[in-house]
Amino acid sequence: MNRPEWLDAPILQASQAHTDRARAYQDHLTKPPGSLGRLEAIAIQLAGLQGTDQPTVDPVHTTLFAGDHGIAEDGVSAFDPVVTKQMMTNFADGGAAICVLAEEIDASLEVVDVGTCWQGEVPGAVRDERIAAGTANMRLGPAMSEAQLYAALDAGARAVDRTVEAHGTRVFIAGEMGIANTTAAAAVVGALLNKPAPGLVGPGTGHDAHGLRRKAEAVDETLALHREQLGGAGHLAADPWEAGRRVGGLEIAAMAGAYLRCAQRGVVIVVDGFISGAAALLAEHLRPGTRAWMLLGHSSAEPGHHRIVAALGGRPMVEFGMRLGEGSGAATAIPLMRMACAIHNRMATFTEAGVTPEGEA
């Protein structure tokens, strides 16, 4: 597959006029300026991104991308890859956490298989866009070809186009499923930030100390194998295209493609935890400026997530000690965003309420 033309479309810019107007409007609401803290900041940011005086969260959409990883054969996960297949059925049946949360926050949900290794047809409620039967073992060679990377990015972009055209989506959450994907995410972050595995590798699906050491060794060996082709050295980050191809995952690349497309189409992104954060970091390195469209949903309990947050800048909206993935942490932030918009759009101003601010009597 050749490089998709949409990759070169411009990243949209926030409206500074609407940002400034929203900030000034907040100071006229019946409260001391700044007293609602980050609720005010969220509303102001959304107003600027959406170019409106009436920011909104809805409609919300979640796309969950699934893919398997060749490095799972090296025992870097506490679970067998067969769990990916089993969870796909669970997603299709509506029994997974993100299914429940999406219903609770009234978000549409699509599950897209971009690269699981199971045989046969996927469940009817899962969209089959399999590019390969999982990635190759990145510890032995590149995880995917250039064509597969482009195909995964393209699958993510198409998911955004579908939901915008079908639902008029304003806020997008990307989730993921794939055994060993925290290992791939750690490798992507390590490559992009030029960091070793310690501090990036966490328990994932539930490793003990021995499992964590094996996982960290696998990440460091992978980065050492690809170092020359990645191009990072000293303080320099790796070539993001090579990082995504050599040490990424099909579902991670699909999420990155979705984030890029959101930034091109003016859709606000709520980033989930460690794996989706790795995809967000990849997207920003691929196309600088994508970060402006991202709100950080939650602070993952995976230890490497704080490095992603530091690199992207900003603060996650919630911290519940979650590390499930699937987009579940991002989903918990949606009610707070709705409250921020409700305050901005419906709270009375001093003039409307007949209240005289201190010092104006």
What are 340's two structure tokens? 């921020």
Contacts of 303 (CB under 8 A, 6+ apart): 199, 200, 201, 202
Contacts of 339 (CB under 8 A, 6+ apart): 39
Q: How many CB atoms lie within 10 A of CB 236?
A: 10
What are 35's two structure tokens? 């007293």
Closest CA to 150 of 248, 275, 222, 218: 248
Catalytic residue, chosen from 221, 326, 358, 360, is: 326
| Residue 319 annotated in active site | no
Q: Which helix (H) or strand (E) holds 295?
A: strand 294-296
Kindly compute the dihedral angle of the four CA atoms of residues 154, 158, 164, 167, in this order, to the nearest 10 degrees: -150
> Which contacts (CB < 8 Å, 24+ apart) does range 202-208 have?
202/274, 202/301, 202/302, 202/303, 202/304, 202/323, 203/302, 203/323, 204/77, 204/78, 204/302, 205/77, 205/78, 205/79, 205/179, 206/78, 206/79, 207/78
Q: Is 244 helix (H, G, I), strand (E, B) or coil?
A: helix
Are the C-beta atoms of 78 and 204 separated by less than 8 Å? Answer: yes
Give the helix ranges, DSSP H, for 74-195.
82-93, 97-104, 146-167, 181-193
What are 249's two structure tokens? 């995952």
Residues tagged active-site: 326
